[in-house]
Amino acid sequence: MDRFSDPFLEPGVLVRHPTRPDWGLGQVQSVAGRKVTVNFEHAGKQTIDAGVVTLGFAGDDPQELDRGTS
């Protein structure tokens, strides 16, 4: 069985898609194996195969955005 593990991918983490900057900032909603559901600012909920696309870590605290840090 194909096992995938990325310790930073967990619900609540902020990410960016490496080839879709127009989607904006995303927040991980769920992780099920390699399937990661992310709610992006400008693209809504998208299911990403994390074995194919490496999401960029943008932070682990959505409140950072409100404080103006990234």
Extract the tokens encoding 14: 């902020």
Is 17 exposed, middle or buried (CB count within 10 Å of its CB: 0-12, 13-18, 19+)? buried
Full residue range of the structural domain in which residue 19 is found: 14-59
pLDDT at residue 46, rounded to an integer = 98
Query: Is 23 within a domain?
Result: yes
| pTM over cut 0.85 | no
Query: Is 33 within a domain?
Result: yes
Query: Is 6 within a domain?
Result: no
pLDDT at residue 70, rounded to an integer = 45
pLDDT along the chain (70 residues), means of 10: 68 96 97 96 97 91 54
pLDDT at residue 4, rounded to an integer = 59
Query: Is 28 within a domain?
Result: yes
CA distances from 53 to 3, 10, 16, 67 (A): 15, 16, 11, 29
The number of distinct structural domains making up the chain is 1
pLDDT at residue 31, rounded to an integer = 95
- Cα(49)–Cα(5) distance, rounded to whole angstroms? 12
